[in-house]
Amino acid sequence: MADPLVGVLGATGAVGGVVLEVLVERNFPLRDLIPLASSRSAGTTINFRGQDLTVREATPEAFVGIDVVFSAVDSDISRELAPHAVAAGAVVIDKTSAWRYDDDVPLVIPEVNPGDIEWHNGIISCPNCSTIQMVMALTPVEREFGIQRVIAATYQSVSGAGAAAMQELTHQTAAVAAGSPPAVEILPRQIVQNVVPEVESFRPEDGYTSEEWKMAVETRKIMHLPDLRVSATCVRVPVYRAHSEAITVECTRPVDPDGVRAALDSFPGVRVVDDIAQRSYPTALDASDNDDVWVGRIRRDTSSDNGIVMWVVSDNLRKGAATNSVQIAELLSF
């Protein structure tokens, strides 16, 4: 078969830009690439493999002939446009939350549930960034020890809120360095020299944010564990890239840190950095601009009998978004 014609919807955004990088790095076989974006960005150019490509407006008619669309736009745009892309014969790999919870849309992390792509109907969803890295660390633990309960607290970078939020951190950093009050426009509160427990919107029904809710619902769907109990607290921190997560897991069988280290170490895409004698553990800076899910601080949970605590760090724009999406496309045949 011919290499596919690839569309990148949201090519000028934070995730879209990394999708372009990852396609090149992984030498993804493609016949040609069509960057698509809103009318605001249409007509600008983006660079891909040394060529300047003109961004086209993402209209319902724009998908004719395209084989695979990477969608990294707002959810409402995806909900509107993805069906047109599917009708035009494309497979949509959707990074938004628009389709993730639909029963006929698989939610896929290639290392975890690659088989789920088989039942797609044109749309395959990529999980939320904070979910992906957690599930990458939970899956080897589940396979070896079984898991029944997860408690997570996140330390999420501003790039999860898009390119404008990254600029806001830059501007606020310059402001405080100059002794000026930082302007707050994109994120809900001042983020420089602060931490903010509001990521996405609040859910009146249970007091969680939708980001926190996603970590529970998506984890159950990806791992095929409908009864897994999950609670998360999601917090924005003044970091550009890479989310960090403190994760407590209750296992169904006796568990020990060395066994968890071994299970994680042999799982593709996971890098264990965990040697307290050397004071080694991953931080957001280590994991930035890198595809691995880094895990450290692995230790017995002193508050339960079969519990483990770990520290999981990964670049939210790469494995948390672009890389995972491209990996899904690599599972498809065209």
The residues annotated as belonging to the active site are: 129, 243
Q: Is-contact 92 86, C-beta < 8 A?
A: yes
Contacts to a copy of itself by CB under 8 A: 149-151, 153, 155, 169, 173-174, 176-178, 188-190, 192-198, 202, 204, 206-208, 216, 229-231, 233, 235, 237-240, 244, 246, 248, 257, 276-277, 279, 281, 283-285, 296-304, 307, 309, 311
Scored b (16 or more CB within 10 A) or e, 88-119 reads bebbbbbbbbbbbeeeebbbbbbbbbeebbee
**Toward a copy of itself, which CB reaches closer, 121 or 280?**
280
Nearest distance in Å: CB 161, a copy of itself: 15
Which residue type does 226 have? P
Nearest distance in Å: CB 125, a copy of itself: 22
Radius of gyration of the chain (CA): 20
**Toward a copy of itself, which CB reaches closer, 38 or 148?**
148
Nearest distance in Å: CB 52, a copy of itself: 27
Nearest distance in Å: CB 243, a copy of itself: 10
**Toward a copy of itself, which CB reaches closer, 17 or 296?**
296
**Toward a copy of itself, which CB reaches closer, 79 or 297?**
297
**Toward a copy of itself, which CB reaches closer, 39 or 278?**
278
Nearest distance in Å: CB 109, a copy of itself: 21
Instruction: Classify the C-alpha dihedral 52-58-62-68 as positive or negative.
Output: positive
| Residues 6+ away with beta carbon under 8 Å from 277 | none
**Toward a copy of itself, which CB reaches closer, 154 or 323?**
154
Nearest distance in Å: CB 163, a copy of itself: 16
Tokens of 121: 């109907």
**Toward a copy of itself, which CB reaches closer, 90 or 192?**
192
How far is Cα 77 from Cα 326, in angstroms, rounded to an integer?
A: 20
Nearest distance in Å: CB 247, a copy of itself: 9
